[in-house]
A and B are shown apart, each in its own frame.
Chain A
Amino acid sequence: MSTLAALARLRAVHTGAAQRLATVRHCHLSERPMVLIPLRLAGEAAAPLAAMAGTDPARPRLLVVPQPRDRDLRFAFAAELAEILLPYIEGLQKATETVERRGAEPFERCVDAPQVIVPNRSAVAFVQLLGRSTRFRRAEGEYAVHPSVPVLGRWLTFLAQRAQYPGSASLLAATEAMSLHWATGQSALEDANLASLMGWIDPPPGMTGAEAAREAEDPLVWPPAGPATDPGFDSEVLAPAIRAYAETRSDRAAARVGEAVRSQLEPTWRLMWRAVGLLGALPAGPGVAARWEGDRASFTGFAAQLAEGGPPQPKRDGAVGAASRLARMERAQASYDAQRAYDDPLVMAGHRLTGEAFTGTVLAADPDHAEGEGRGRKLRPLLTVRTSDPVRLAAGTRLGTPERRGQQAEVVEITGGHVTLKIVKGMGRGRTASPGSVPEVGERVCYAALTDEYQPPASLPAPEDTPWTHGGPPPEHVPAVEEPDEEEWA
């Protein structure tokens, strides 16, 4: 936690209202996101109890499993969820654009991609488990399920894997997206409660954020946002309703379970769309579109893989797959951090506090400064910036600047509030710097030791060449059926 974020929380306590942590929105927000609120039966790993889903705030779809311990009903739930999610996903695959690349074949990319928004981190984990429990199912043979179930499983797994990827917006947890933009006057632990977090950010009229957040902790006023339900609700309302259904299997009893879970889901449904509205009111940061492009490319790639009949995602990554995924995630994290800072002075301020970045006024500029002679002569414009920030950078450090993205500078020396830099990239190729590329005296500038430059992917062996130190080549994929006793359910 940066001192800036800590200070924002203190101010929230003091004023009773949430404080901004960002001046722009740092996550993509689809024009038509799908909100999904899953509920799970307490004590079970992945037994769905209910879900509310849809792309229209006025028309939520309610899915209910009146007896969550019944296998057939659980897979009927999965098939029903597939009926909602798959048309949404497939509809987005239709429109594509051709992307030209230098030195490589052009490729097709979907112009939009699915965006699923769930309430919190636990719901993301539940999506992943639901994907795991359905993607290996088969539509024929013993324990056959509806053909849409394994497809749903693969898409849920895809979304859950994207959610681990820094900067991806394919599967968002509302609490995390909100916490990225606002600081509350409570702890991060309490921020995981969507109702309480929203209480701080958007209290009802006549209430302070602090009061609204406290009230939101009462499960009778604000049912938990799932996947876990309130234990009191379980024992007083849900258990009798499920028992009645188990005894009679009647539509009336099923409807009673449905009404019970609806009462738990509807308040969260409204909260989710309020969160979407608040996020949508923030202007998108410039880097958001580029990151969403990554989501779209990944979506296009996975859709193609699925269409070609590729196997379901493995239970575990092989050594090579895991290493390359980690490397990709590390690069994504670095560029996500850099982009947010360059997009947003409030995020940049956090880096200025730690001395990795500084803001100041140009005191002197030598735009024609060059190093070397003759053919080796290189243009290296010099700048001296006066700053009152606590700069902690070593000579030679590479810097970028939000004012001129793509430009790079190098620290020459730092003496008592004066930083001398030389620009090494992004000032044109001529003998003199291209107009406007070198800041003028008196200009306010910001430089930071953060980079989101393209980095080539890590060079790793092909999976079949995995060295023995890493377990050797992985075994061929066998489309295994889950063991039949997996179906036993108490």
Chain B
Amino acid sequence: MDRLDELRGPVPPRPHDARAIAALAANPGCARRAVLDAAGIDKDATATHLGFPAPFGQSPFAITRGNVFEALVKESGCAELLRLLREILGLPIPLASYTDLGDVGGNPSAHLRHSHTRRLLDRAARDGDDAGTLYDHPLLRLDIAGHTSYLEPDVVAFRLGGRFHIVEIKSFSVIDGQAEPDKVAAAARQAAVYVLALRDTLEELGHDPARVSHDVVLVCPENFANRPAATLVDVRRELAVLRRQLARMTRVGAIVDALEPGLTFDLVPDAGGAPTRPVADLREAVRGVGARYAPDCLSTCDLCFFCRDEAASEGSTDLLGRQVRDALGGVATVAEALGLADGSLIPDEGQEEIARLLRLADRMYAEVS
């Protein structure tokens, strides 16, 4: 792991939150992202220093709305949430308690909070016939490529019958039973991270990890009001993707070993934390690990504008998206594809079919436009 520390430089690794971990699954083929994430590098700071700040931002209105909704759901010891869980999980009415794991005797240390969470989860898992309990602000842990990330799911529900459910509170609306598909998908990916972390914890404690349900409870406002409604979302598919991706990240060593010795993404921060590394130098370093740019990166990765610029300067067909690449049968660059189309380039072996199609398309384009 020394090599990863060397890649990052003398700053603490950036902890992954569930959203970041979920985003890892978005572009599993990208070595650049795999290395930077495994080393816990602050990609946002890197992109900014390179002159390509990430295009992400969250509106204060959206943040307020999210906080207000979460507070509403958790009001008076999660009274509203309890009502929903009774309906959807059949939680017995009188048998439900609420435990806030937010801080332990005024001590907010992650380590302490995590061991407290572990202790309580262990007890709940042991007393199989205990009453339903809601654990607010639990702190879970997930090891990613040798680094520990602490994760805080919204609520963990435990009920009679010995099963744990992750509860995910989101403030996007469900209108007439429908919500925006990409928001639901993002929530499911994020919840899958918590399910995995909770399963790992139970397994470490010697319990059956399958006691954590793959059905997560998604709580969203219903229609145009603030009234919460709950839905069960099956995250088995997201779990499978996540496991595969995390396994890949632990194997990131193979990619790292192949990197040039001495390569580092160290921003060389001065005393005030401002990066001092020459930009050209950093650019060389980042280019030392191959990226796989796709337009989807524009919504998930901090480095997207840098990689897009790189793909553009290389004339890569990745720039135009999967659909175009598929239509081009994988021809890598714009110049190559245009050369095949106008016949100035002899197709390589295996390119005859796409070359024939491109030449035909070129001829027709000239003929009718």
Contact = CB atoms under 8 A, between A and B. Distances in A.
Interface in B156-170: none
B271 interface: no
Nearest to A7: B361
A66 B296 CA distance: 35
A7 B358 contact: yes
A300 B59 CA distance: 42
Contact of B224 (A133, A185, A217, A232): A133
Contacts of A5: 324, 327
B85 interface: no
Given A9-B320, A189-B321, A349-B368, A4 B59 contact: no
Contact of A390 (B59, B60, B323, B360): B360
Majority SS at the chain B contact face? helix
Given A189-B296, A229-B59, A14 B338 contact: yes
A3 B326 CA distance: 9
B224 A46 contact: yes
Contact of A43 (B59, B224, B362): B59
B59 A316 contact: no
Interface in B51-81: 55, 57-66, 68-69, 72
Interface stretch (A303-311, A464-472, A480-488): A480-488
A231 B224 CA distance: 22
B326 A1 contact: yes
A2 interface: yes
A188 B321 contact: yes
B270 interface: no
B334 interface: yes
A299 to B, nearest CB: 25
Interface residues of A, number: 57
Contact of A44 (B61, B298, B362): B61
Contacts of A41: 61
Contacts of A322: none
Contacts of A132: 175-176
A13 interface: yes
Given A4-B365, A485-B227, A43 B62 contact: yes
B183 to A, nearest CB: 11
Contact of A185 (B64, B320, B369): B320
A217 B53 CA distance: 13
A186 B319 contact: yes
Name, among B66, B223, B361, the residue most crowded by chain A CB atoms within 10 Å (CB to CB).
B361
B337 A10 contact: yes
Contacts of B69: 490
Contacts of A490: 65, 68-69, 72, 226
B364 interface: yes
Contact of A45 (B64, B173, B296): B173
Given A7-B361, A188-B323, A346-B369, A489 B226 contact: yes
A345 interface: yes
B38 to A, nearest CB: 27
Nearest to B364: A349
A378 B35 CA distance: 73
Nearest to B177: A316
Interface in A126-170: 129, 132-133
Contacts of B362: 7
B295 A43 contact: no
B171 interface: yes
Interface string A296-320: 0000000000000000000110000
Contacts of B357: 3, 353
Nearest to A354: B357
A90 interface: no
Contact of A8 (B64, B171, B296, B365): B365
A9 B61 contact: no
B222 to A, nearest CB: 9
A422 interface: no
A353 B361 contact: yes
A268 to B, nearest CB: 18
B66 to A, nearest CB: 7
B172 interface: yes
B358 A3 contact: yes
A234 B65 CA distance: 13
A20 B224 contact: no
Nearest to B174: A45
Nearest to A231: B57
B361 A488 contact: no
B320 A13 contact: yes
Given A129-B175, A229-B59, A13 B369 contact: no
Contacts of A217: 55
A23 B368 contact: yes
A44 B225 contact: no
Contacts of B55: 217
A-B pairs with lowest CB-CB distance, top 10: A43-B62, A42-B59, A231-B57, A43-B65, A45-B173, A187-B321, A187-B295, A6-B327, A234-B59, A345-B368
Given A1-B326, A235-B59, 6 more contacts: A13-B320, A43-B63, A349-B364, A353-B364, A483-B225, A488-B227
